[in-house]
Amino acid sequence: MRRSDKEIHDAGLLQSILEAPVCRLGLCSDNIPYVVPMNFAYRDKVIYLHAATEGKKLDIIRTNPLVCFEMEHRTELVSSETACNWGMKYYSIIGWGNASLIEDPAGKAEALNIIMEKYAGQGACSFPVDALEKIVVIRITITKMTGKKSGY
Per-residue pLDDT reduced to its tens digit, 42-82: 999 999 999 999 999 999 999 999 999 999 988 889 999 99
Per-residue pLDDT reduced to its tens digit, 94-146: 999 999 999 899 999 999 999 999 999 987 899 999 999 999 999 999 999 99
Q: What are phi and psi of 97, to 5 degrees?
A: -170, -175
Above 90 in pLDDT, residue 1? Answer: no
Q: Which domains does the chain have, with CATH numbers?
A: 4-150 (2.30.110.10)
Per-residue pLDDT reduced to its tens digit, 25-44: 999 999 999 999 999 999 99
pTM: 0.90
Per-residue pLDDT reduced to its tens digit, 44-53: 999 999 999 9
Q: What are the residues whose beta carbons fall under 8 Å from the beta carbon of 150, sequence distance 6 or more? A: 6, 87, 88, 89, 90
